[in-house]
Chains A and B, each alone.
Chain A
Amino acid sequence: MENRLRVLRAERQWSQAELGERLDVSRQAVNAIETGKYDPSLPLAFKIARLFGMKIEEIFDDGFDGEQND
């Protein structure tokens, strides 16, 4: 899953450690999420969204284009 975490972090000039401290996770977890190697749990995704004052779908993109099959 793609996400904008790295960009949002860069805009605030936070290191991975600073973001990790705010989210109570390790630098490795931040790195894994940023590089798309790990998708965060729903609680962590909400925590990330609250931290940046955005909706989850504004940060994470699951590739769904909006077309719904009935």
Chain B
Amino acid sequence: MTDLSPMDDAPAEGSIGRPIAWMAAAGLATVFTAGAIVGVIAASKEDGGALSTTAFAIIAAFVAIICGLIYAQWRLARRIAASGGEMTRRERLNRNIMIACGVMGGTIGLVLAITSDTLTADPLTVFSEAPLPLTLAILLALFWGAVMPVIAWFWHTRAIDEQEAHAYRDGGYYAAYAYLIAAPTWWFLWRGGILPEPNGIAIFIGFSLIWSGVWYWKKYR
């Protein structure tokens, strides 16, 4: 084999899995901290309306935490971008699609929060089965049922490479087996009176988390 010394002058390279995991964790922490702010505001409204000095202080602390988390994400994003040189064309496209999906997901969450009657910080509201206004329900269904498949097709055919497609496929296998095993198990235990009725959204989230987790492990390990 040839001497590896020319690599000494090369830019820092290697797996970017760890900074991406930290970035995702910081992103989640940002969302939960924002949720905590909503919770403080909701609690103040229930107690009479105006925010107390203590509530203001708590909110200010949370805002400071969010600023710190955003700064950390910015630093991590720069480290990821600098690893192994500039991003390739596929990586840039992939990143842009991910950002667009994040913005759309955030918009959906915001719309759902705004159309909700009351402010709530309960993260379990995602499992809500409360009725939606008809127009909003149709718009969300159109987005998820018609726009998302187009984005997914574009992403698979233009943005990802074969290594990521391989990781994604493995994630799909793991998630499918988990679904095939877990969903009927829950259903049997519900019929036996041990567990509450199976929740479709909980199953969907579990399926998505397993798929994403395996994809991440296979892509960035």
Q: A residues engaging B (CB < 8 A)? A: 4, 6-8, 10-11, 13, 15-18, 20-21, 24-33, 35, 37-38, 40-41, 44
In the assembled complex, which residues on chain A have CB atoms less than 8 Å from the CB atom of B13? 15-16, 27, 31
Q: Which residues of A contact B90 (CB under 8 A)?
A: 20, 24-26
CA distance A40 to B162 in the complex (A): 8
Contact A28 B163 (CB under 8 A): yes
Question: Among residues 114 to 149 in chain B, which have CB atoms less than 8 Å away from a CB atom of chain A?
Answer: none
In the complex the two chains form, is B1's CB within 8 Å of A29's CB? no
Interface of chain A, main secondary structure: helix
Measured between beta carbons, the chain B residues less than 8 angstroms from A6 are: 4, 7
Known contacts being A10-B7, A11-B2, A17-B84, is A29 close to B162, with CB within 8 Å? yes
Interfacial residues, chain B to chain A (CB-CB below 8 A): 1-2, 4, 6-7, 9-11, 13-16, 83-91, 94, 161-164, 166, 219-221
Q: Are A15 and B220 in contact (CB under 8 A)?
A: no
Asked whether A28 lies within 8 Å of B10 as measured between CB atoms, the reply is: no
